[in-house]
Amino acid sequence: MIRSSIRLHLLVAISPGLKRVPVGPFVLRQKPTKRHFSAISATMGVDQRLVLWFRNDLRLTDNAALQTAASMIRDNQAAEVVPLYCFDPRQYITTPHGNPKTGGFRAQFLLESVQDLKQSLRHIGSDLMVCMGTPEEAVQGLMQEGVRTTVIAHAEITKEELDVEKGVKRALGDKGRLHLVWGNTLYEKDELPLQPDMSDLSDVFTPFRNKVEQKCQIPRPAPKPQQGALPLPSSLDKSSLDRQPSRVEDLNSLVPEGAPKLSTPSPDPNAAIAFKGGETAALQRLKHYLWDTGCISDYFNTRNGMLGPDYSTKFSPWLAHGCISPRTIHHETKRYEEQHGSNKSTYWVTFELIWRDFFRFFTLKHGSRIFYKHGVSGKRMPWSHDEQAFERWRLGKTGMPLVDANMRELKQTGFMSNRGRQNVASFLTLDLGLDWRKGADWFESVLVDYDVCSNWGNWVAAAGLTGGRVNHFNITKQSKDYDERGEYIKTWVPELAQIPAPSVFEPWRLSREDQQKYGVQIGVDYPEPPKSRYNTEGFGRDDNRDGGRRGRGGHGRGRAGRSGGGKHGNYSRHGGANKHKKTASEFERFG
């Protein structure tokens, strides 16, 4: 739901020539007028103003939009650049499923990322204008009579983001233009051996991977810009750029009245890792995982883990916010391989990044269908709307220990392993038969690494709505395979801490005496498990339910490795992002 009049809190003031207004997130509660920005144009001395609009690309290195702005400066097409970031109120609404669209973990990470970006821009002699309002309004405020405004940004793929782009274009009218560039993927979109609208993209991963690995190169990352590459308008009062939201609570001015307010999340001692936003921390994590520990050389063997900081890379929050590019990770891995040797593990991180690309291009092809109840395949499933069952899943109180441990970790830390995500998504959709969009929406709210294509793409696949193979996991078997001693479960479900493995995987089977011995009464201290919709004897079957197709619409990490294959698809493939417009309220993702 878009609020029609959104307050724009501009955190900067431009002077001289501008009547000083007290600025800051808490004082300037008005839309910036042209007057606020007149000082810029008066001294720019050029007829083109560049606005470098940062979105999910909060980095200096390998930033295609930034490179575009810098090259326009180098070529004297413009003299000054205003780097801009907007905390857009539409990202702080309550979703139709009742969740804060951006929860505290991601808000905190984002805030840190913006702060870090500002510092980095300052180091190269620039700065960041931080705006509490829509980009449309901010851009409008930056426009000036007689000066052409060129807004440079990374192109996004999905409906809400495309709507914002349209709004910015509208705001610019005939007085400027929005210059969108592709970025944030491993492979360059225009170099893919595919139609521009992705109509011939396979709906399963392996054919896509084979094609790109055989036919495309992963471009080298663009270097960090040099000092002076992005000159600010000379009239900008630098001290006025000091103010920006510093705490999660400062974002509450964007939260609609009556909606739950954001607060700084408290760190959990069991968290896999203490994530810190920003490019600086991203590069440190890359260094840690490659050079400091060599963990990448064992990644293939550890990647299905669930406990601890290093079983997987944990690059996802930084990738999701664009604090690091996948190309930087890939080429640093290549450099590491030159010194330490390559193996299946070092290759596999790039393999996973190709999954990330796949979901982006998949979304480009199918547009808003990834948000629809019947998904990409249009398969009609009788999704249940049992609110109580959903709440038990959300809060980690289903009675299935592995599911509960993962859901509690998510709620308390904003992160969950890939193994966990596969299992809880399979359980929600294929065992409980609950509407998968509620699960995806909860993930969107809570995940620190929420990425629209990766999240909704993985969810629609987990729900069996891509036409590809459906991974229906046997939760008990998964517990035995990936949490052999039950340590993960015991970390997050302390009620079960005394129960030895393997009994801890199925506590409802314990005798009354054993329950007493282990200090837990099932049905009182810890819930009985629910009935599976498909299999009342157990939960899931660790199988696929597409009649033997080997294509993988989702992304499991089965021990047998990943096989992909046969094309499928009995629906139109001719859908760009704009083709599948949803009819619900403007800022929902639901069809």
Q: How far is CA 329 from CA 108, 351, 415, 461, in A?
A: 24, 12, 21, 26
| 314 belongs to the binding site for ligand FAD (CB under 6 A) | yes
In whole angstroms, how close is the CB of 459 to ligand FAD at the nearest point? 5
Helices (H), 463-544: 475-482, 487-492, 512-517
The span of 60-68, 418-426, 511-519, 528-536 binding ligand FAD (CB under 6 A) equals 418-426
Measured over all CA atoms, what is the biggest interatomic distance in the chain, rounded to whole angstroms?
84
Which of 369, 421, 438, 568 forms a contact with ligand FAD (CB under 6 A)? 421
Which of 52, 78, 319, 504 forms a contact with ligand FAD (CB under 6 A)? 319
Tokens 């930084």 label which residue? 318
| 316 belongs to the binding site for ligand FAD (CB under 6 A) | yes
Measured from the CB atom, the residue of 74 and 344 that comes closer to ligand FAD is: 344
Which of 68, 99, 244, 313 forms a contact with ligand FAD (CB under 6 A)? 313
Measured from the CB atom, the residue of 69 and 320 that comes closer to ligand FAD is: 320
Respond yes or no on whether the N-terminal peptide bond of residue 326 is cis (omega within 30° of 0): no
The CA distance from 26 to 433, in Å, is 45
**Cα-based torsion angle of the residue sequence 274, 279, 283, 289 in order, rounded to the nearest 10 degrees:** 40
In whole angstroms, how close is the CB of 488 to ligand FAD at the nearest point? 14
Site for ligand FAD in 92-131 (CB under 6 A): none
| 186 belongs to the binding site for ligand FAD (CB under 6 A) | no
Count other C-beta atoms under 10 Å from residue 62's C-beta.
24
Helices (H), 75-178: 104-123, 135-142, 159-172
Phi first, then psi: give them for residue 50, nearest 5 degrees.
-100, 135
The span of 200-208, 262-270, 347-355, 582-590 binding ligand FAD (CB under 6 A) equals 347-355
The span of 143-151, 179-187, 415-423, 514-522 binding ligand FAD (CB under 6 A) equals 415-423
Residues that contact ligand FAD, how many (by CB under 6 A) = 30
| Cα 396 to the center of its chain, rounded Å | 22
| 312 belongs to the binding site for ligand FAD (CB under 6 A) | yes
In whole angstroms, how close is the CB of 356 to ligand FAD at the nearest point? 4
Count other C-beta atoms under 10 Å from residue 536's C-beta.
8
Amino acid at 412: Q
| Residue 154, helix vs strand vs coil | strand
Which of 139, 198, 230, 462 forms a contact with ligand FAD (CB under 6 A)? 462
Measured from the CB atom, the residue of 352 and 506 that comes closer to ligand FAD is: 352
The two tokens of residue 435 are 């509407």
Which of 353, 370, 410, 489 forms a contact with ligand FAD (CB under 6 A)? 353
Tokens 């046997």 label which residue? 474
The span of 56-64, 126-134, 135-143, 453-461 binding ligand FAD (CB under 6 A) equals 453-461
Which of 61, 120, 458, 532 forms a contact with ligand FAD (CB under 6 A)? 458
| 417 belongs to the binding site for ligand FAD (CB under 6 A) | yes
Burial class (CB in 10 A: 0-12, 13-18, 19+), 211: middle
| 82 belongs to the binding site for ligand FAD (CB under 6 A) | no
Measured from the CB atom, the residue of 138 and 319 that comes closer to ligand FAD is: 319
Binding residues for FAD: 299, 312-316, 352-359, 449-451
Contact yes or no for 3/256 (Cβ under 8 A): yes
In whole angstroms, how close is the CB of 301 to ligand FAD at the nearest point? 12
Site for ligand FAD in 509-568 (CB under 6 A): 555
| 91 belongs to the binding site for ligand FAD (CB under 6 A) | no
| 459 belongs to the binding site for ligand FAD (CB under 6 A) | yes
In whole angstroms, how close is the CB of 338 to ligand FAD at the nearest point? 21
Which of 349, 402, 489, 499 forms a contact with ligand FAD (CB under 6 A)? 349
Which of 85, 105, 450, 473 forms a contact with ligand FAD (CB under 6 A)? 450
In whole angstroms, how close is the CB of 440 to ligand FAD at the nearest point? 7
Site for ligand FAD in 132-151 (CB under 6 A): none
Residues with Cβ within 8 Å of 285's Cβ and at least 6 positions away in sequence, in order, are: 313, 314, 315, 318
Which of 355, 371, 393, 526 forms a contact with ligand FAD (CB under 6 A)? 355
Which of 99, 235, 455, 474 forms a contact with ligand FAD (CB under 6 A)? 455
Which of 80, 156, 449, 506 forms a contact with ligand FAD (CB under 6 A)? 449
Letter string b/e over residues 309-332, b meaning 16 or more CB atoms within 10 A of that residue's CB:
ebbbbbbbbbbbbbbbbbbbbbbb
Residues with Cβ within 8 Å of 162's Cβ and at least 6 positions away in sequence, in order, are: 156, 577, 578
The CA distance from 70 to 124, in Å, is 12
The CA distance from 398 to 337, in Å, is 44
The CA distance from 101 to 14, in Å, is 32
Residues with Cβ within 8 Å of 461's Cβ and at least 6 positions away in sequence, in order, are: 468, 553, 554, 555
Q: How far apart are the first and last CA of the chain?
A: 14
The two tokens of residue 192 are 């893919």
| 330 belongs to the binding site for ligand FAD (CB under 6 A) | no
The span of 310-318, 366-374, 397-405, 496-504 binding ligand FAD (CB under 6 A) equals 310-318
Q: How far is CA 261 from CA 253, 264, 335, 390, in A?
A: 9, 10, 45, 23
| 352 belongs to the binding site for ligand FAD (CB under 6 A) | yes
Which of 90, 101, 118, 303 forms a contact with ligand FAD (CB under 6 A)? 303
Measured from the CB atom, the residue of 409 and 449 that comes closer to ligand FAD is: 449
Binding residues: 299, 312-316, 352-359, 449-451
The CA distance from 66 to 79, in Å, is 14
| 356 belongs to the binding site for ligand FAD (CB under 6 A) | yes
Which of 54, 443, 473, 482 forms a contact with ligand FAD (CB under 6 A)? 443
Letter string b/e over residues 368-399, b meaning 16 or more CB atoms within 10 A of that residue's CB:
bbbbbbebbbeeebebeeeeebbebbbebbbb
Measured from the CB atom, the residue of 37 and 488 that comes closer to ligand FAD is: 488
Measured from the CB atom, the residue of 316 and 532 that comes closer to ligand FAD is: 316
Site residues for ligand FAD per CB under 6 A: 303, 312-316, 319-320, 349, 352-353, 355-356, 359, 417-418, 421-422, 425, 443, 447, 449-451, 454-455, 458-459, 462, 555
